[in-house]
Amino acid sequence: MGKSSGIGVLDKTMLILTTVAEEPCSLNELCERSGLPRATAHRLSVGMELHRLLSRDASGLWRPGPALAELATKSTDALLDAAHLVLPRLRDITGESVQLYRIENGQRVCIATSEPPTGLRDSVPVGAHLPLYVGASSKVLVAWADSSIQRSVLAEGEITDTQLRDTRRRGWAQSVGEREPGVASVSVPVRDARGAVVAAVAVSGPIDRIAKRPANMWAADLKTASSVITKRL
């Protein structure tokens, strides 16, 4: 059954969710793939359907329900709402471009940004997809990612296990010319109310201004900004 919380009904509920998320299935297929007794699978599935955690299509196949997407949207909205308040303040403090990233489909995606109005700057548009194996924010996201993502990134040979350990120990990561020549950045994790890392916030700009050790300049301000975001989640 995988991880056990010691709460049987919760573990079985999660097992059903993960099973139908892999592929919609009938009750018989759900029992076969999950190993749950038919009566248990049926009882829990009907209850989850009532709460819209599961739904059934016209052919009777169980699939994830709309409540899951709604909950995810609310969580994302809270993160973005907090970012839209905090990032401009961080931009004004640093005078540099600031971004918020999270992992999506094996890449890091910029979900919010705030840039200085004038001058040379590192512009990353919202929605930009960047590789997880280069850059300060990638190190932060991968340092607290699940083991499968870490293995995939480490296999690229750009980020090392030592760098990930150092990132977790220090609470920040920096990069100089990794993603783009002439650009330096520093990044820290953003945690939700439970302490899980849900994003990475970063400051980036020309090496000539930020220098080759950007963490010395902005890591403390980034950690403060991250804490403010967390308090609003």
The Cα–Cα gap between 172 and 180 comes to 19
Kindly tell me if the per-residue pLDDT of 132 is higher than 90. Answer: yes
Contact between 185 and 222 under an 8 Å Cβ cutoff? The reply is no
The model's confidence at residue 196, banded by pLDDT at 50, 70 and 90, is: very high
Smallest Cα–Cα separation from 49: which of 33, 32, 30, 35? 30
Q: What is the DSSP letter of 25?
A: B
Extents of the domains making up the chain = 8-73, 78-231
Residues 6+ away with beta carbon under 8 Å from 189: 140, 141, 143, 144, 171, 197, 199, 200, 226
pLDDT in tens, 3-12: 678 899 999 9
Position 122 confidence tier, pLDDT thresholds 50, 70, 90: low
pLDDT score of 81 more than 70: yes
Could you check whether 8-73 and 78-231 share the same CATH topology? no
Over range 98-104, report the average pLDDT.
93
Tokens of 77: 């909205």
Is the pLDDT at 74 greater than 70, yes or no?
no
Q: pTM for the whole thing?
A: 0.68
- Does domain 8-73 sit in CATH 1.10.10.10? yes
d(Cα 41, Cα 29) in Å, to the nearest integer? 10
Average pLDDT, stretch 163-184? 91
Superfamily of domain 78-231: GAF domain (3.30.450.40)
**15 vs 4, which has greater pLDDT?**
15
Residues 6 or more apart whose Cβ sits within 8 Å of residue 10: none
Angle between the 27-34 and 38-50 helix axes, to the nearest 10 degrees? Answer: 120
Q: How far is 95 from 91, CA to CA, in rounded Å?
A: 5
Taking residues 186-209, report their average pLDDT: 92
